[in-house]
Structure 1
Amino acid sequence: MNSPVLEIKHGAVAYDRPVLRDVNLTVRSGEVVAVLGANGSGKSTMIRAGLGLVPLAEGQVELFGVPLRRFRDWRRIGYVPQRLGAGGGVPATVGEVVSSGRLARRGFPGLLRAGDRQAVAKALAAVDLTDRVHDPVAALSGGQQQRTLIARALAGEPDLLVLDEPTAGVDAKSQEAFAQALRDFVRHGGTVLLVAHELGPLQPVITRAVVVHDGVIAHDGAVPHPAGHHAEPGHDHVHPHAPQDPPSIWGRQ
């Protein structure tokens, strides 16, 4: 069995109310794991907690076998948060944004070396944006901006790629390009953990699905069919691994 890349053990997160409760998740090398669930289920909080971006009230996290508090090799992880726009009002080109992904590897700014330029070119090709390298990011469509952010993460040559709603509001062509980029990334030894509302073209790439409802993992296994129904508030689904087997984990009133 492949070694764990990310582990959450008995994780709990609370703000003014519990958000995650006794969550256990292991992502192993070479997997493509999709975290599904309705809005407010805790799915994004779970992956952010796994990266230390949200503090745990209880439990622990390990990255590549190292406790989170001692983990320092962040270049091994590429993270793309929920879509906020790649332009941000800054007049940067696609090439400049993607090139910034090399900073995690280099550790300092400066002129790109041959290896850096090769990694950037490869990342741009992976998301089908090579022909837009000199264009301002602000001039791109929303889907192309999202692909730019994914390319920036890929340029860092991470071992683990973590993506939060990477295809939300993204056009069909960009979704297909992204699915192919994931295939190539995994074929070269990468591991993927992503949050999704619907899988669409990504579904054939997914090796495992984790469904989160009301802060607990209600399903961990094969991709449900149809995959999108786990994001629907009226969906009834009780899984034998759910902690309490509620009559309707999707909160039907």
Structure 2
Amino acid sequence: MKENRKQAEPTPATVVSVTHAQVAYDNRPVLRDVSFTVAPGEVVAVLGANGSGKSTLIRSILGLVPLNSGSIDLFGTPLRRFRKWWRIGYVPQRIGAGSGVPATVAEVVASGRLARRGILRPAGAADRAAVAEALEQVGLADRAAHPVTTLSGGQQQRTLIARALAGRPELLVLDEPTAGVDAASQAAFADALRGFIAKGGTVLLVAHELGPLAPLISRAVVVHEGRIAHDGPVPEPVGHHADPDHDHVHPHGPDEPTGMWS
């Protein structure tokens, strides 16, 4: 059975276009005149220290945080008019994948199909195939029937990535997907993204450290104090992050020095 696909969309010159974006919370500037684009097939990492504004930038692109000024286009359409959300798969910062609901891993991943098929239409063979493929991609096929609450933090994060992949999006947006996640899950993320990229997918991810994702990155956008400080090749690590024995798995707390990209 053929997958229930939305009508084929033309390939735009840019997948994401941010122009002079500004965001402020309680009159405190968080993003200051930010402009950059993401072309089809690119793998762009948004890097920066804690509090730099990188997560706010991603949330603005997804329409979760309003701009005070400037504009954002997705697939050539102004964000305010964009409705084709099946074209985008979003993986938020590490959270409990089950959100307190006693769901299985497969059920959580299957929810990633809703934007593509619609809420009222029952799941079909194409949906089940997409879920199975996504679980295989992140190495959780053997956990499909397990309650998601029984998984480790890294496995729960892999479940969220599988949920995004199950919708077969054109753009994957990931907000610090490997923060505080075990090395095995980081390697699984890298393998899943490698397959997505090989099929022509576009990736925009926020990271404090890249770890095993580094070889996949085609471009880095470094945010510092709400501005674009660098747009080009991934900068070399500095300070204690450049040490050979630096642990790239641990989460970084708010009191840690500015670190890798300052």
Per the normalisation by structure 1, the TM-score is: 0.89
* AA matched with 2:147: P
How big is each residue's C-alpha offset from its partner over 1:115-174, in whole Å with a ceiling of 9 and x where there is no partner?
Answer: 111111111111010000000000000000000000000000110000101001111000
1:23 maps to which of 34, 38, 49: 34
1:10 maps to which of 7, 20, 40: 20
Q: CA deviation at 1:51?
A: 1.3
* AA matched with 1:11: A
Over 4 Å off, 4+ runs: 234-237
Which residue of structure 1 lines up, in the alignment, with residue 161 of structure 2? Answer: 150
Q: CA deviation at 1:236?
A: 9.2
Does the Cα contact within 8 Å between 2:46 and 2:206 map onto a contact in 1?
Answer: yes
Instruction: Give the match's secondary structure for 1:116.
Output: helix
Partner Cα separation in structure 1 for residue 118 and residue 260 of structure 2 = 48
Q: Which runs of 5+ in 1 are unaligned?
A: 238-249
Q: CA deviation at 1:84?
A: 1.4
Which residue of structure 2 lines up, in the alignment, with residue 240 of structure 1? Answer: none
Partner Cα separation in structure 2 for residue 110 and residue 129 of structure 1 = 26
Which residues in structure 2 correspond to 1:13-52 (within 5 Å)?
13-16=23-26, 17-52=28-63
2:137 maps to which of 122, 126, 129: 126
Which residue of structure 1 lines up, in the alignment, with residue 171 of structure 2? Answer: 160
Partner Cα separation in structure 1 for residue 124 and residue 157 of structure 2 = 26
| Structure 1 pair 82–234 and aligned structure 2 pair: CA distance change class (3 A) | closer
Does the Cα contact within 8 Å between 2:91 and 2:173 map onto a contact in 1?
Answer: yes
Partner Cα separation in structure 2 for residue 99 and residue 235 of structure 1 = 38
Instruction: Give the match's secondary structure for 1:158.
Output: coil
CA RMSD between the two structures: 1.9
Which residue of structure 1 lines up, in the alignment, with residue 184 of structure 2? Answer: 173
Q: CA deviation at 1:87?
A: 2.0
Partner Cα separation in structure 2 for residue 68 and residue 159 of structure 1 = 16
Per the normalisation by structure 2, the TM-score is: 0.86
Does the Cα contact within 8 Å between 2:49 and 2:260 map onto a contact in 1?
Answer: no
* AA matched with 2:194: R
Instruction: Give the match's secondary structure for 1:14.
Output: strand
* AA matched with 1:138: T
Instruction: Give the match's secondary structure for 1:128.
Output: coil
Aligned length: 237
Which residue of structure 2 lines up, in the alignment, with residue 104 of structure 1? Answer: 115
Partner Cα separation in structure 1 for residue 88 and residue 122 of structure 2 = 23
1:213 maps to which of 224, 235, 245: 224
Which residue of structure 1 lines up, in the alignment, with residue 8 of structure 2? Answer: none
2:64 maps to which of 53, 58, 61: 53
| Structure 1 pair 56–234 and aligned structure 2 pair: CA distance change class (3 A) | closer
Does the Cα contact within 8 Å between 2:50 and 2:258 map onto a contact in 1?
Answer: no
Q: CA deviation at 1:110?
A: 5.2
Instruction: Give the match's secondary structure for 1:4.
Output: coil
Partner Cα separation in structure 2 for residue 124 and residue 110 of structure 1 = 22
Instruction: Give the match's secondary structure for 1:40.
Output: coil
Which residues in structure 2 correspond to 1:241-252 (within 5 Å)?
250=262
1:194 maps to which of 188, 205, 226: 205
Q: Which runs of 5+ in 2 are unaligned?
A: 1-11, 243-251
Q: CA deviation at 1:59?
A: 0.3
| Structure 1 pair 136–20 and aligned structure 2 pair: CA distance change class (3 A) | same
Instruction: Give the match's secondary structure for 2:15.
Output: strand
| Structure 1 pair 12–156 and aligned structure 2 pair: CA distance change class (3 A) | same
| Structure 1 pair 234–177 and aligned structure 2 pair: CA distance change class (3 A) | closer
Q: CA deviation at 1:235?
A: 5.4
